[in-house]
Amino acid sequence: MSSNFRLSRAYENAKIVPFDDTSKFILFSDCHRGDNSFADDFANNRNIYYHALKYYFNEGFNYCELGDGDELWENLNFESIFEAHKNVYELLRLFHYRNRLHMVWGNHDMVYKDPEYVKKHLSSYYEPIEDKDKELFKGIAYHEALILRHTETQQEVFLTHGHQADWWNYTFWRWSRFLVRVLWKPLQVWGIADPTSPAKNYKELIKLEKRIKKWILRNNLLITIVGHTHRPRFPEPGDIPFFNDGSCVHPRSITGIEIENGKISLIKWQIATTDDGILRVVRILLEGPQKLNDYKESL
């Protein structure tokens, strides 16, 4: 089974999300939310992420998470992750109950492709203070991909995690999960990276990006946004429309992609120091905004 086949299948089975020029989306991926241990890469940026997420909720954005939101290779279950970052999930729940939450599974949370697993673990949680179960993400569905389809122009934006172009981490993800749990998680504490991860292996990263670009060329230059490699990408109009929103585990910052007013932007959130010594979480525009219409599909 080739990467072209896997990407095409993800596109054919993608959830359609209608949008227009008044719609607003924030795209994050690769949060790798963990249990707040030394191996939890998300823990360093959780305050930045929470502040950004609260901003987007208050501003009326839809939240699209393009896979690897929860670190379910290093951690055995969702419960320990939920307890470590409960405030984040309470905010995500607000997006969900306003129909503004769109979730994609990646290789590190590939268990979410099973609707029964999602229903069992994400529908509710136990609240010890009240000694009862409370609703969390009742009725939530995870997808392999999303398609944002403009209601007037019919232009499409294809969103997926991108591990479809990574045969090992897609096909043999259970083996990768086993190796991460028993080998790489302990070594990560000592600063030794997992060589099977394209985010930490430059040669694999380049190969993966080439496979996705070839698929985009075969599919009429369809705008495609992925994560997985943790490397932000923002092409110029006329180039292959291959975007990457980066990750939420960069050192001291998180990156994402915004779609607003029919335009696309690459942004970063980080902690900055004001002149009087106060620390603030600030949003920085890295690329764009660029009109989506500037990335024309070939006919």
**Any idea where the domains of the chain sit in the sequence?**
3-294
Task: Please give the angle made by the CA atoms of 30, 33 and 130, to the nearest 5 degrees.
Answer: 145
pLDDT of res. 191: 55
Task: Return the biggest CA–CA distance within the chain.
Answer: 59
Contact 92/54 with Cβ under 8 angstroms? Answer: no
- pLDDT tens string 67-80: 999 999 888 889 99
Fold classified for 3-294: Purple Acid Phosphatase; chain A, domain 2 (3.60.21)
Token couple for 32: 């790798």
**Rounded mean pLDDT of the chain?**
90
Mean pLDDT of 229-248: 96
Handedness of CA 203, 207, 212, 213 (dihedral sign): positive
Report residue 298's pLDDT band, with 50, 70 and 90 as the boundaries. Answer: very low
- pLDDT tens string 243-289: 999 999 999 999 999 999 999 999 999 999 988 889 999 999 999 99
Token couple for 222: 């369809």
β-bridge partners, 270: 253, 282
Asked whether the predicted pLDDT for residue 175 surpasses 90, the reply is no
- pLDDT tens string 31-44: 999 999 877 999 99
Report residue 107's pLDDT band, with 50, 70 and 90 as the boundaries. Answer: very high
Contact 269/241 with Cβ under 8 angstroms? Answer: no
Strand order in the sheet with 242-244: 15-19, 145-150, 156-160, 223-226, 242-244
